[in-house]
Amino acid sequence: MRSRILIIWCMLVAIASLWGSGCNKSDDSPQRATPLDFPKPAGWPDTRYDFASNPLTKEGFELGRKLFFDGRLSKDGNFPCASCHQPFAAFATFEHDFSHGFNNQFTTRNAPALFNLAWHTEMHHDGGIANLDLQPLAPLTAPNEMAETIPSVLEKLNADPQYQKDFARAFGSPEISTSTLTKALSQFMLMLVSADSKYDRVKNGSDLFNVNEEAGYAIFQQKCSSCHTEPLFTNLAYEKNGLPVNPDLNDLGRMRITGSSQDSLRFKVPSLRNVLKTFPYMHDGRFWNLSDVYTHYNGNGISLSPVERSFLTEFLRTLTDSTFLSDQKFSGGE
């Protein structure tokens, strides 16, 4: 009888030990993040981002979205990333040549639209940042934009228990670092893929251009496609397009990065996707409508008759991706 009691007691101790260690493991170890597939459109070129260094996860994407819309990343709490990159404007600044920043200051360049960034190797109009993970550091610390310091941002985020939980779920540790902060933002921005416009549906065989759009597409292919190359509608190069220097800014573009006079007034070719939603145009937002853009190019080697302008505009309208512009998973709401 005594031996039976001893055996039962030993079994209870063993079960209790296993139960306790199981609970401790569950409490101490964060859940494994859920892998998230990148939505690469069929027929598009290979992406350029190093996904191996920052694997996409559902938790990382959601954390990046939360950070993108959080004003605490700026000095006074009023300027999240989304204040300059608004979803309904294809993540550009709606109807502004320059964006409003800290202490009633303004940016010195037109905010570029944010989409299809997985195909870019260099960021900004002059290509001055060579990695998407580094890009947020520039607006975060620019005194006329978000005006913060990285240590201050990290201190604010690390003081928030919910953010600690979010980072633990996304990256395996509640400690928030510069690396995990920027990688979370990258995961959100990488998922901003715009590839469901009428143009895309025509290309995949589910829609048709009307006669005016078809005529505009032919004009585009003849006069615009060498710089605005399909399917990204940019060749990602730095080009001179005949714009004189803005005397108020004295912005020499790519030359600021390379130091070469050959790069004076070269700027990165923007994508024409969602172009009707991303005005005003050019690196300094000097042209407020497509008519002004056409007039500029008429004097710089790309002549367009009034009829051609009309047809070309009809084609460019087919590049508006309404699905992307209204996608709630890219908004600041829950």
Q: Does residue 228 sit in helix, strand or coil?
A: coil
Of residues 176, 181, 156, 152, the one with CA closest to residue 164: 176
For 50-70, letters b (16+ CB in 10 Å) and e give eeeebebbebbbbbbbbbbbb
Give the ranges where the chain is alpha helix by DSSP (H): 2-28, 58-68, 137-141, 150-158, 161-171, 178-190, 198-203, 211-223, 255-258, 290-298, 306-317, 322-325
Ligand-binding annotation for 125, yes or no, is no
Residue 57, C-beta contacts closer than 8 angstroms, at least 6 positions apart: 33, 34, 35, 36, 170, 187
Annotated ligand binding at 23? The verdict is no
10 is in an annotated binding site: no
At residue 122's C-alpha, the angle toward residues 121 and 123, to 5°, is 130
Residue 1, number of CB atoms within 10 A of its CB:
5
228 a known binding residue? yes
182 vs 49: CA distance, rounded Å: 14
Matching residue, tokens 């008519």: 291
**In sequence order, what are the beta bridge partners of 281?**
287
The total of other beta-carbon atoms located within 10 Å of residue 309's CB is 18
Closest CA to 107 of 146, 78, 67: 146
E strand or H helix at 53: none
Estimate the crossing angle of helix 58-68 against helix 161-171, to 10 degrees: 140
Q: Is 84 part of any known ligand binding site?
A: yes
Residue 22, both tokens? 């199981």
Question: 62, 55, 81, 60: which is closest to 70 by C-alpha?
Answer: 81
Binding residue positions for heme c: 81, 84-85, 224, 227-228
Binding residue positions: 81, 84-85, 224, 227-228
